[in-house]
Amino acid sequence: MSEEVRRGRVWTVGHSNHPLEKFIGILKAHEIESVLDVRRFPVSRKWPHFDAAALAASLPAARIRYVGMPDLGGRRKPRADSPHVGWRSDAFRGYADYMDTGEFMGELARAMSLALASRSALMCAEAVPWRCHRSVLADAFLARGWEVFEILSEKAARPHVLPGFARREGDRVIYDRPPQGDLALR
């Protein structure tokens, strides 16, 4: 990727069980202009206001762009020969394996381009960043020189950091070090 792409900044956020107005308030508090929905299956039976179609209809009224990006979604199966043995969770190991594919790389480049054009948040459902695949996705941004911030509430965001059991190899993140504490359970 070009050096220009390497200088970006992106946020992550989980919609959780918030009412729509509260969620929009969180986005506005962090001056988010675009939501990049990284759910593989962007529907919610419990919270229908977070269905892709509902967000695509409601966010523009708040001057926030909605972009569905299901190809960056989670729920991936790990490879039998996965190098990402630092993950105890099959779900996160599977996503790390998926990050090595051309399909992922193409969609990641698209997300980076969108995030360069407007202040963007990678959105999934889980409120807690380290319990969601978006934390692994955030690692891919970090490996490419991006700054990543995890939105925790209207008033709180923190810088995302690689877990201790990960290492960078160029633009690639490899999770092959011994797991450290609860982080490996992500």
List the chain domain ranges. Answer: 5-185
pTM across the whole model = 0.90
Average pLDDT over every residue of 138-153: 97
- Tokens 């054009």 belong to 117
Q: Answer yes or no: is pLDDT of 117 > 80.
A: yes
The residue that leads in pLDDT, 19 or 4, is 19
Gap between the Cα atoms of 14 and 133, Å rounded? 11
162, 139 Cβ separation under 8 angstroms: yes
Please tell me the least confidently modeled range out of 17-31, 74-88, 130-144, 171-185: 171-185
User: For the domain with range 5-185, which CATH number is right: 3.90.190, 1.20.960, 1.10.10, 3.30.70?
Assistant: 3.90.190
**How confident is the model at residue 81, as a pLDDT?**
96
pLDDT in the model for residue 5: 42
The rounded distance, in Å, linking the Cα atoms of 103 and 19 is 33
Q: What's the pLDDT tens digit per position in 45-102?
A: 889 999 999 999 999 999 999 999 999 999 999 999 999 999 999 999 999 999 999 9
Q: How confident is the model at residue 178 (pLDDT cuts 50, 70, 90)?
A: confident
Residue type, 148: V
* Residue percentage of the chain with pLDDT more than 70: 92
Three-state DSSP class for residue 29: helix
Average pLDDT, the chain: 92
H runs (alpha helix) in 59-154: 90-98, 102-117, 134-143
Q: In terms of pLDDT, which residue wins out, 95 or 3?
A: 95
Tokens 């934390």 locate to 135
Which tokens go with 91? 């779900």
